[in-house]
Structure formats: C-alpha cells, structure tokens
Amino acid sequence: MTALLTPELLRRLEQFQLLAARRAKSSAKGERRSRARGQSVEFADYRNYVAGDDLRYLDWNLFGRLERLFLKLYEEERELPVTIFLDVSESMTFGEPRKFDFARQVAAAVGYVALCGFDRVSVHLFPEMESAPGSKPGTQSPELTAELAARGALRSVRGRKSAMQFFQNLGKLTARGAANLNEALRRGALRSRQTGLAIVLSDFLDPGGYEEGLKALLGRHFQISAVQILAPDELAPATYGDLRLVDAETGAQQEVTFGKFRLGTYQRTVQNFCQRLREFCQARGVNFFSTSSDTSLEELLLKQLRRAEVWG
C-alpha cells in the first residue's frame, strides 16, 4: 500500500506535542511532568531534611537564612499513555476514499506525534481478530498470520525509532466483521493499567450506540478525543431509484425507493445523529470532530486538532 503520511506532513507533525490537561501518572519515565517526585531538573517543592536523605539535594542557601535543613524536591518526568481506539469493522470499508484508510492515516499521525514526544502508544482494534474461523494452528494464510502479528505489535509501541514499524503494522490491517463499539471501549478502559489520552476513530454507526462505551472511558478518567469519520456518500448520497441496501456487517437486506424528494429527509436524519453525538461529547468534556473521508488530512491534523488543543 502507499505511504500513510507524506514526508512533508511528518516533518510538520514533528513540531507538535500531544497536550494533556492532567499530569501523567504512568510509572515509566518519559518527558511529561507528573506528581511523582524524582531527580529531574524541574524544581517542585521543599520538605524537611530527615536523617538518611541524600545530602546532594540540601538547599544550603536556605539553611544560611533559616538555619534549618530543607531538601529540594524535583518533578519526576513520566510518559503519557496514548490509547488509539481504531474501528476496523466492515462498515469502515465503505466510501471513496474508504473511511478505514482515512482512519488509519489519522491513527498514524496521532501515533507519530506521541512517539516523537517519547510517549507510549497502544492501538486497540475492534472488532478483535484471534484467528480464522475453524482454522488450526499452522494452517492460517500468510496474510492472516502477518495481520495477527501486526495487531499484537500495535498493543504497545514506544520510541521514535519504532515509528516506521508502527506505520508498517497499520498498513497490514484489514477491516472486517461487526463491531460492538460500547463493548470495545469498555474492554479497553478496563485493560488499561494507566489512563491518559484516548483517541476514538470510528463512524459511530453502531446500532448499540456509543454512550456506555464513552462513559466507561470517562469513568477511568481518560482525556478523550472522538473523531467521527463518514463517507461522502453517507453525507450526501448520489444514487437514486429502487435500491436493495445490504448491511456490510450483518448482511441484512432491505429494498427501498430512494428519490430526490427523500434526500432532504435522509440528510436531516444524518445531521441529527451527528448533532446528538456532538452534544453528548461536549456535555462531558470530550473533544469531538466529525469529518468526511475525502477531507484534506492536513485540514484535520494541522488546523482542527490544533485549534481544539489536542496537540500544539
């Protein structure tokens, strides 16, 4: 497949850093301020000297004024966990350009900014794929074996040097099966040992809704950005007449007569759905973006996400 991001866009993304409203709580060292006290160069506070403390951190200037011993404390630098929830269900293959391809590009960009900032990236894919139905060990196709390995590698990625392999693993993914958005977000929230930033990339067109899943992430104190990706034909259909519609995930079929008169009704329904999702997110402090898969990637990454202070 072609490169997910152009060299020029990568150079521009290197100038950004993901912005966290809350300080990092990860146990691994990185470049984010945390409430932990350690040995970085960023001064935090003083405390009274206790026998056995490292004498190198005594403030002798303060002792000269107060004749009491105080120990200087410094803020420990920690990494920021960044979790990307990527919808790889069959419905994401719809449209031209495909929603799935656009979502992978956004995932690649978010991951690259995080890796350049020495943050840890975890990609949670839904639906999950363990193996081909009914297959025995050693009988899977090379493509399926490669994708399973890529999915495993994407669960935890660190360091800027991992960026190229990160892109390659994203490129090996395929979209298939039916998603359960609420369950995927709930599982991801429970599996995360440390919370941080959560980026949800999906069309959000799940009959089961999205509310409980987003609430589960909020309950674990994730800072969430939700990016809804829809295809141009979903926003403004160009096909009319007697149609047989087939659900990409369930296979369910329905025959409809779709004329230009119904186009307005359809578009209002889509707009109302997107507006309810937007209001749900905004009421709970979730960054929300709705975009078409034919949107300029630079418009979303360099303008919209920056204005919303996802990164800067």
> 5-20, pLDDT tens digit by residue?
999 999 999 999 888 7
Same domain as 21, residue 46: no
Residue 312 lies in a domain: no
Domain end residue (candidates: 62, 78, 94): 78
79-94: per-residue pLDDT in tens?
Answer: 789 999 999 999 999 9
**Cβ neighbours around 57 below 10 Å, total:** 14
**In the predicted model, is pLDDT for residue 138 greater than 70?**
no
Query: Quick one: pLDDT at residue 61?
Result: 87
Owning domain of residue 38: 32-78
**In the predicted model, is pLDDT for residue 231 greater than 50?**
yes
Same domain as 196, residue 172: yes
Give the pair of three-digit tokens for residue 124. Answer: 């949670």
**In the predicted model, is pLDDT for residue 278 greater than 70?**
yes
Torsion sign, CA atoms 26, 28, 29, 31: negative
Query: Quick one: pLDDT at residue 264?
Result: 80
Label residue 33 by pLDDT band (50, 70, 90): very low
Query: Quick one: pLDDT at residue 35?
Result: 40
**Cβ neighbours around 220 below 10 Å, total:** 14
Query: Quick one: pLDDT at residue 23?
Result: 43
